[in-house]
A and B are shown apart, each in its own frame.
Chain A
Amino acid sequence: MKCKKCGGRAVLELRRHNTAFCADDFLGFFRHHVLETVRRWKMFARDERVLVAVSGGKDSLALWDVLHAEGYRTAGLYIDLGILAYSQESRAKCEAFARERGVPLVVVSVAERMGAAIPEVRQHTRRPACSACGLSKRYIMNRAALEGGYDAVATGHNLDDEAATLLGSTLRWDESALARQTPLLEATHPKLVRRVKPLFRLSERETAAYAFLRGIDYIVEECPFARGATSITHKETLNRLEDASPGTKAAFFLGFLERARGRFPALDGVSLTECVRCGQTTTGSVCAFCKLGEQIRGSLPLVGVTSPPRVEPVDPPADRGLIADVAAQSEIHAS
């Protein structure tokens, strides 16, 4: 198979585009898609500071690689979920990536912030691990970005992730989730930071190929708690549809953004206030992250948590910066 652009030996066929590329032309194609997405969606400007949430996996490291290589002002945020060997390995990948490129990496531990790591949360609550993990990540991403003075948080969600989420929301006709699903979540409150997904038009096979061809050392094995997750089932279903009809995933998700999302307007009347514990945004008086932390600390004695359980100070929350804590309890690699 030949590269459709230069006629050289192709290394990747892209059936949904009915094309194939050599390594160099594929890397160019990938970068172009990321940069065009950032520009068209006005995700962030050249002079803005972007916190890239990295997991050690192919997507987030590929995203950081593109943005860093293009000269964007980035730092990485690694959230240590405390999932034993998986977290140790993924953290090491992120640290090595940052060290090799001389870019800053902020590390925040869920156990330090909540009083328990994800395995303990799973053990002591009825909440599925992925749900607690997602809640913790969203909370820590926003708080770290806010306190670090970043203009946007970028995540590595790809087309497959977004299509699977959309399928799940559609199967439940979850109107509020459909209204919220967007690659650009603007800050609607002074304590919220813009959240963007610059890879949403690229498939996970494309991000994997980019990472491989760039020599990025990423963690291939997925989180052990993700096995059997509904989102994986949705992905597998979409993969079968894609195999029978290439382009299905893109038509499903991009068509939703273009033609259907507007039919699910955001619910009015939901006003955000500040959590009385931590000062982050919430619709009630105590945010979901603080509630979960309190639930965990009030449960059985914890195993494997080294830090003493603690309650966030009621006020003034802004005085206790997460980034300041991070500097003391984690590493910041800077050039």
Chain B
Amino acid sequence: MDPAAGRSSRVYSLVEMRVILRNQGREVELAGRRRVKELLAELGVLPDTVLVIRGRELLTIDEVVRDEDVVELRPVISGGRP
């Protein structure tokens, strides 16, 4: 018999937001909701230099991201061409 059965329980989200910084090859975890604009400022990323991607959607700077989100900051800069 499951020892937890019959006991009241409450599940808390312990999963923080995961931000993938594609151009730097690293990931950071952050807790708490904030706007994309604030997220970028915290990470020192200029808004016009990345696409902000959550799942299959692009986010504008006023969108809110929160715990459990996986957000990719995909660089748009390219270079070295003639």
Contacts and interface: CB of A to CB of B under 8 A. Distances in A.
Interface stretch (A229-237, A291-299, A315-323): A229-237
Contacts of A161: 78-79, 81
Contact of B79 (A135, A229, A243): A229
A235 B53 CA distance: 22
A231 B57 contact: no
Contact of B49 (A15, A205, A220): A205
Contact of B80 (A59, A204, A229): A229
Nearest to B72: A220
Interface in B1-22: 22
A201 interface: no
A225 interface: yes
Given A15-B48, A209-B51, A223 B80 contact: yes
Q: Which of B51, B77, B79 has the most CB of A within 10 A?
A: B79
A213 to B, nearest CB: 7
Contacts of B63: 1
Interface string A211-251: 01100000010110110010110011001101100100000
B42 interface: no
Interface stretch (A5-13, A119-127, A265-273): A5-13
A311 B60 CA distance: 54
A133 B82 contact: yes
A138 B82 contact: yes
A13 B80 contact: no
A235 B77 contact: yes
Interface in A140-176: 155, 157, 160-161, 164
B66 interface: no
Nearest to A218: B78
Interface residues of A, number: 47
B51 A204 contact: no
B61 interface: yes
Interface in B28-82: 46-51, 53, 57-63, 74-82
Given A208-B74, A243-B47, A243-B48, A20 B80 contact: no
A31 interface: no
Contacts of A23: 58
Contacts of A239: 46, 48-49, 77
A207 B78 CA distance: 11
Contact of A10 (B46, B47, B60, B81): B60
A242 B49 CA distance: 10
A137 interface: yes
A59 B78 contact: yes
Nearest to B51: A208
A57 B81 CA distance: 11
Contacts of B79: 161, 164, 222-223, 226, 229, 231-232, 235
Nearest to A244: B46
11 contacts: A1-B60, A13-B61, A57-B78, A133-B80, A133-B81, A205-B50, A208-B74, A209-B51, A212-B53, A226-B78, A232-B80
